[in-house]
Chain A
Amino acid sequence: MSADTTRPAAPVAAKGALARFLDSDIWFSFKRSPVTIVAATVAAVLILSALLAPLISPYDPFNPATLNLMDGFTKPFSESMFGNYFVFGSDNQGRDVLSTILYGSRISIFVGLMATLFAMVIGISLGLSAGYVGGVYDSVVMRIADIQLSFPAILIALLIFGVARGIIPPSQHESMAVWVLIIAIGLANWAQFARTVRGATMVERQKDYVAAARIMGVNPLRILLGHVLPNVMGPVLVIATINLALAIIEEATLSYLGVGVPPTQPSLGTLIRIGQQFLFSGEWWILFFPAVTLVLLALSVNLLGDWLRDALNPRLR
């Protein structure tokens, strides 16, 4: 509340949080951009339906008891011989494509979010400390980041995945696959965060409030996390959003390459991999609908990230 007393002239501060948000520049630029509104709606629908998959999916695609092989290869928008209706058709095992997509995007989004979070935590802690401490530590961390950034993330993720496979006993490959993916993708993407945070931290370090806090004898860790971090979060948020789209695509790519999640719990990439086998025999829907979902998901998150970057950039206002 001390902030309010210093700016008594600002009427905005007196309102509630929601009103303040509705009055903010961000909400204003959101309202002004139809593309962003569409992207946000698409992303929200996809994420919500993935979250609610067990409730809203018409069939349980992974329960062998309810599957009927005779239902296989049903065309979209039609009924199978046994009276089961499949909106997006069914695959070779008689699984409802819509249900597999709902459960699949659940895994894709989960891996994407967790991997981004993981990359963010590593990147922020290394970037903050490197920017604040400087010296040899800074140059070592940044050199590693440079080297890693010059290689494609997918290559690094593949390598880490392979290494993790070698370390984990084969019996646990399937159960650990999702976590291995998260770590591999997260470790492949931390450098971008570290670089940005380090740059911003080096700027913040020079400012008076940091000097004041230091003179007051505040613990460096507390200066970094409590004072510097909130001031560098803007660009981090932008990178995180764009990184989420990247991570989702990377997960799909790895699963498509056959090194991601096992076929028993398919993500969107696995579904596309399965669907490609039936492309030549004319069953296009097994591939088409998961692919469209993946593209919509990646594209909408990407557009949101682009918008956020412009909205948070004071130079463009």
Chain B
Amino acid sequence: MLAFILRRLLQSVVVMLVVCLISFSLFHYVGDPVASLLGQDSRLQDFEELRERLGLNDPFYMQFANYIGNALRGELGISYRLQTPVSELIASRLPATIELAMASALIALVFGVTLGVMSALKPRSFTTGVVMTLSLVGVSLPTFLIGIGLIYVFAVELQWLPSFGRGQVVDLGWWKTGLLTESGLRSLILPAITLSLFQLTLIMRLVRAEMLEVLRQDYIKFARARGLSNRAINFGHALKNTLVPVITITGLQLGSVIAFAIITETVFQWPGVGSLFVNSVQVVDVPVMAAYLMFVALVFVVINLIVDILYYVVDPRLRIAGRAAR
């Protein structure tokens, strides 16, 4: 167990170092930060002073070492566009993105598993047909169009829900949450649904496929022969055995949810890190781009690590295989 975790940790560190190198190269080679910080009619002297202040005159390896050291301390440079430290920017926008991602992951998991189980147990029913067709259409629709469609129906026509922003937020000191106010919760509904749809269909199709597979197995037939109730068979035996891949995919998708939030946040003007990233790409604000890259990579690496360990805990076969290998 320990060896397994250590090996995975080492791999994660290597991946993070590579990402650091990429994001540092972004810093180093893309654009002229001084030119983007100063106006066109600044004096040459100002250019030189700023260059020195930002440490751009140091050799490459020193800048890289500095960069990693600073990144470890949470200092990710100063935004060219907003002239504020990037870490502050990200920290102030992170709660919004995390709340959105968690809400949509929850929606996706609950509805995905429910619909998936339903469509597997009643493959020929009318509702299953409707759900499967809708899921096919849902996958081929671009996320931003789904968001715009929801805005049109629920915000413009019905005027039930707000179409942009986070509503009122409560400041908990280090975390501004929108989950405690009514307007905050109402604002969360549309973006969370938009963001969840893709994951939802994915989980649904996965649960359905796995369930259909498991229901054909001998031990299910044996359970039926033993006269167990349908409920015990379907949920106690079948669903339980489909959950391993579902956990993996849901976990791995959590990273994608955060990355996909870029689109949803832009559609709903949600003040999270995704919209910060898009705005930075538009004006080539390299420090923010580089920091976002590292942030997403970190999320992915950590999630992968947790999922691998969970896998190990959930699936006894892996443990036995690991012991046999040793």
Contacts and interface: CB of A to CB of B under 8 A. Distances in A.
Contacts of A295: 140-142, 145
Interface residues of B, number: 37
B148 A272 contact: yes
Contact of B140 (A147, A280, A298): A298
A161 B148 contact: no
Contact of A258 (B29, B143, B252, B282): B282
Contacts of A203: none
Interface stretch (B188-196, B205-213, B223-231, B258-266): B258-266
Contact of A253 (B263, B293, B300): B263
Contacts of A166: 26, 30-31, 284, 286
A259 B280 CA distance: 10
A158 B282 contact: no
B140 A154 contact: no
A279 B154 CA distance: 12
B260 A257 contact: no
A151 B259 contact: yes
A201 interface: no
Interface string B268-292: 0000000001101110101001000
Contacts of B156: 279-280
Contacts of A259: 278, 281-282
B278 A152 contact: no
Interface string A281-301: 000100100010011001100
A253 to B, nearest CB: 6
B60 interface: no
Given A257-B262, A295-B141, A287 B148 contact: yes
B94 interface: no
A224 interface: no
Interface string A249-273: 1001100111100000000000010
A294 B31 contact: no
Of A163, A253, A295, the most chain B CB neighbours within 10 A belong to: A163
A298 B256 CA distance: 22
B-side interface mostly: helix
Nearest to A282: B156
Interface string A156-174: 0011011101110000000
B152 interface: yes
Nearest to B266: A257
A272 B144 contact: yes
B15 interface: yes
A259 B275 CA distance: 12
A162 B289 contact: yes
Contacts of A150: 252, 255, 300, 304
Nearest to A165: B284
A249 B138 CA distance: 13
B30 A167 contact: yes
Given A154-B260, A155-B296, A252 B142 contact: yes
Given A151-B296, A152-B256, A257-B266, A158 B281 contact: yes
Nearest to A161: B281
Nearest to B19: A147
19 contacts: A150-B252, A151-B259, A154-B260, A155-B262, A162-B281, A162-B286, A162-B289, A165-B284, A166-B26, A167-B31, A253-B142, A253-B263, A256-B266, A257-B262, A257-B278, A258-B278, A258-B282, A259-B278, A291-B145
> Would you list the 10 A-B pairs with minimal beta carbon distance, nearest first?
A166-B30, A166-B31, A162-B281, A155-B259, A166-B284, A249-B142, A302-B140, A152-B259, A165-B284, A299-B140
Given A151-B255, A257-B266, 17 more contacts: A151-B296, A152-B259, A154-B260, A154-B263, A158-B281, A159-B289, A162-B30, A162-B281, A166-B286, A167-B31, A253-B144, A256-B142, A256-B266, A257-B144, A258-B266, A272-B145, A295-B142
